[in-house]
């Protein structure tokens, strides 16, 4: 694998470097899902990525730093529509992004970490600060802030509770049913829970 670890002096080498990073990111996620946070070692990750331990230490100081980097990379970023004219559509899309993320190894890895939170509280803190927070807080936050900045929503209504409604209901539904919420459910969450909380009255049947 040493060919992929040269300094990035050409496009071809850079691409190889990116491939290696992707392989290592995939390896750390698979590893934490299989062996848990406590079982995570540079050796195990390197072996799974079919590379040398030294190539990991060149980029990351510890398995934990590598894990957080992989989760950060995999985390969805909300992109409000450029027109800023479709709050409802943008909120539904934000929840769709969340649901798409929930089927990835990154989401399974996050669950594995959360299940061990009492053993690794510092890691969970770092996860919220460096991954969830760094990506704009809870899903729907970026969209809501965007429309508030445009003067289309009262910014004082965007409390931590309100920013959390969409995500909370998606997680709850997944927990209750054991399957990911379908599009109809996402639309209902936006129409019946998120929009009323930001001042758009609910309508029966919507």
Residues that bind a copy of itself (CB under 8 A): 114-115, 117-118, 121, 124, 128, 154, 156-157, 159-162, 164-165, 167-169, 171-173, 175-176, 178, 185, 188-189, 192-193, 196-199, 201-202, 204-205
How far apart are CB 43 and a copy of itself at their closest, in Å?
28
How far apart are CB 189 and a copy of itself at their closest, in Å?
6
Nearer to a copy of itself, 42 or 158 (CB): 158
How far apart are CB 183 and a copy of itself at their closest, in Å?
14
Measured distance CA(39)–CA(36) in Å, rounded = 5
How far apart are CB 14 and a copy of itself at their closest, in Å?
38
Measured distance CA(97)–CA(94) in Å, rounded = 5
How far apart are CB 23 and a copy of itself at their closest, in Å?
28
Which are the contacts of 61, defined by CB distance < 8 A and separation ≥ 6? none
Q: Where are the beta strands (DSSP E) in the chain?
A: none
CA 183 and chain centroid, separation: 19
| HSE-CB of 199 using CA atoms within 13 angstroms | 12
Nearer to a copy of itself, 14 or 172 (CB): 172
Which are the contacts of 203, defined by CB distance < 8 A and separation ≥ 6? 191
Nearer to a copy of itself, 71 or 198 (CB): 198
Nearer to a copy of itself, 146 or 173 (CB): 173
How far apart are CB 160 and a copy of itself at their closest, in Å?
8
Q: Locate tokens 């190894």: which residue? A: 105
Nearer to a copy of itself, 89 or 196 (CB): 196
Nearer to a copy of itself, 66 or 198 (CB): 198
Instruction: Report in angstroms the alpha-carbon separations of 120 from 21, 114, 125, 155, 176.
Output: 25, 9, 9, 35, 26
Q: Locate tokens 């807080």: which residue? A: 137
Q: Is 80 left (phi over 0), alpha (psi -120 to 50) or beta?
A: beta
């Amino acid at each position: 694998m040493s060919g992929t670890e040269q300094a990035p002096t050409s496009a071809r080498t850079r691409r190889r470097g990116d491939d290696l990073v992707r392989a290592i990111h995939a390896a750390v996620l698979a590893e934490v899902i299989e062996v848990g946070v406590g079982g995570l070692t540079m050796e195990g990750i390197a072996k799974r990525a079919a590379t040398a331990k030294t190539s990991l230490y060149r980029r990351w100081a510890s398995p934990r730093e590598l894990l957080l980097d992989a989760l950060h990379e995999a985390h969805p970023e909300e992109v409000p529509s450029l027109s800023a004219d479709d709050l409802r559509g943008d909120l539904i899309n934000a929840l769709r992004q969340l649901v798409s993320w929930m089927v990835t190894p990154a989401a399974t890895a996050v669950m594995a970490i959360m299940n061990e939170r009492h053993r690794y509280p510092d890691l969970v803190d770092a996860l919220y600060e460096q991954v969830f927070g760094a990506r704009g807080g809870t899903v729907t936050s970026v969209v809501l802030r965007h429309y508030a900045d445009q003067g289309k929503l009262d910014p004082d209504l965007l409390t931590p509770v309100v920013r959390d409604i969409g995500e909370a209901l998606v997680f709850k539904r997944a927990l209750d049913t054991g399957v990911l919420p379908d599009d109809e459910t996402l639309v209902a969450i936006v129409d019946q829970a998120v929009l009323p909380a930001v001042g758009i009255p609910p309508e029966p049947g919507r």
